[in-house]
Amino acid sequence: MSGNNGFAFSQPVTNSKTMLLQQSKTGGNMLNSLQQSKSSGNILHTLQPVSSGLMQQPAPRVHFARTTSASTAGENNVRSGHKTTLSGLKRSKSLTAADAIAIHTDLGPFPFDVTTDMEQALRDPNEMSARSLMQLVKHVVDRATDNRHYAEPAAKLCINIIEKEKKETFLESLLNTCQQWYQERGKILRNTPGKYPTFMAFLNEMYCQLKRSQLQLKTHYDGVPPQLLLLTLLSKCCLDCLKPSEVQSLSETECLFFVLTSIGRDLEQELPKALEQVIASVRDMFLASTTSPQIRKTLLQLIELRASRWQLPASAVMYYYPGAR
């Protein structure tokens, strides 16, 4: 289906794998994964491109850069190097009090002191100490990675706080925590089944929320805005899911598909080399004899999705999801 759309294998495919390319059908559970998040894209909708030029190297810790040049992260137009002022945050549509309470409820119960800090942060984070905000970040990220369903409300809560703060302490702590967790993923994330996909889901939600928030943020490192840091972490997570040394996990493969469906077009524009590495690893795992049929089906659909420029034609959607209308 995707042979004429620009994706070529680096080695011949056997007859059995050729038949699989023609006959494979991805299970319906993938459609459910795509529909879980309101903030993410899907195979029927394109994503707006983001800027180019991020170097692939270990990410340094985030720090405040109070200069007159910052990047405006708009959903339709993200460009590094736009000239802005030090006016702080340009607020997007803030959540109402009812929305904030709903988000709080969606994250489940917290200890009394954490609940108090969370409510204060939702009202005015500028009245809180840096230590309290940093502790709150830890509690939110912990909860966000407990269950995939917490990813979206946790990201919305974070954005609501980030919109209100002036010194961006919460944002800086959040980005540093995400980097630290990734760097220590073997100890923090990999030892608990299912925790790595939930971490990826949270990163994806945070990336989408930051991208569409249209905030003018001072927190940068080397001129790189926060959403690009998250995009880099997501690309590295995708590669981790495809490492031959890792035990193949259907849940991680499905999360990989879900994330790339959301950010694939942005990766192609912003980090083309990273995307090529991911797709090459997808191809290698697809061709590996040890790959299970279920995982191979998911990888095949991902190959076709990329070959069709992240927007499957209607016929392909009906082929993979015959129950879709």
pLDDT tens-digit series, residues 79-105: 333 333 333 333 444 455 555 555 556
Q: Domain ranges in the chain?
A: 49-291
Please tell me the distance from the alpha carbon of residue 255 to that of residue 234, in angstroms, as a whole number: 11
- From residue 25, how far is each of 22, 56, 159, 223 by CA, in Å? 9, 35, 38, 44
* DSSP string of 126-195, one letter each residue: GGS-HHHHHHHHHHHHHHHTT-GGGHHHHHHHHHHHHHH-SS-HHHHHHHHHHHHHHHTHHHHTTTSTTH
Q: Is 68 left (phi over 0), alpha (psi -120 to 50) or beta?
A: alpha
Query: Is residue 257 within 8 Å of 306, Cβ to Cβ?
Result: no
The candidate with the shortest Cα–Cα distance to 10, out of 276, 298, 242, 310, is: 276
Backbone angles phi, psi at 322, to 5 degrees: -60, -20
The candidate with the shortest Cα–Cα distance to 319, out of 23, 4, 5, 18, is: 23
Give pLDDT, residue 214.
75
pLDDT tens-digit series, residues 171-230: 999 999 999 999 999 899 988 888 999 999 999 999 999 998 877 787 776 677 898 999
| Lowest-confidence pick of 136-150, 253-267, 308-322 | 308-322
What angle is formed at CA 202 by the lines to CA 112 and CA 130, rounded to 5 degrees? 50
Counting residues of the chain whose pLDDT is more than 90, the rounded percentage is: 50
Give pLDDT, residue 76.
37
Query: Is residue 300 within 8 Å of 285, Cβ to Cβ?
Result: no
Give pLDDT, residue 12.
41
pLDDT tens-digit series, residues 273-312: 999 999 999 999 999 988 999 999 899 999 999 999 998 8
Give pLDDT, residue 325.
60
Give pLDDT, residue 324.
65
318 — pLDDT class (breaks 50, 70, 90) = confident
Please tell me the distance from the alpha carbon of residue 207 to that of residue 158, in angstroms, as a whole number: 11
**What average pLDDT score do residues 240-256 get?**
85
pLDDT tens-digit series, residues 5-26: 444 434 444 444 444 344 444 4
Amino acid identity of residue 311, one-letter, is Q
Give pLDDT, residue 106.
86
Give pLDDT, residue 245.
67
pLDDT tens-digit series, residues 26-79: 444 444 444 444 444 444 343 344 443 334 444 445 444 433 333 333 333 333
pLDDT tens-digit series, residues 129-170: 999 999 999 999 999 999 999 999 999 999 999 999 999 999
CATH code, 49-291: 1.25.40.180
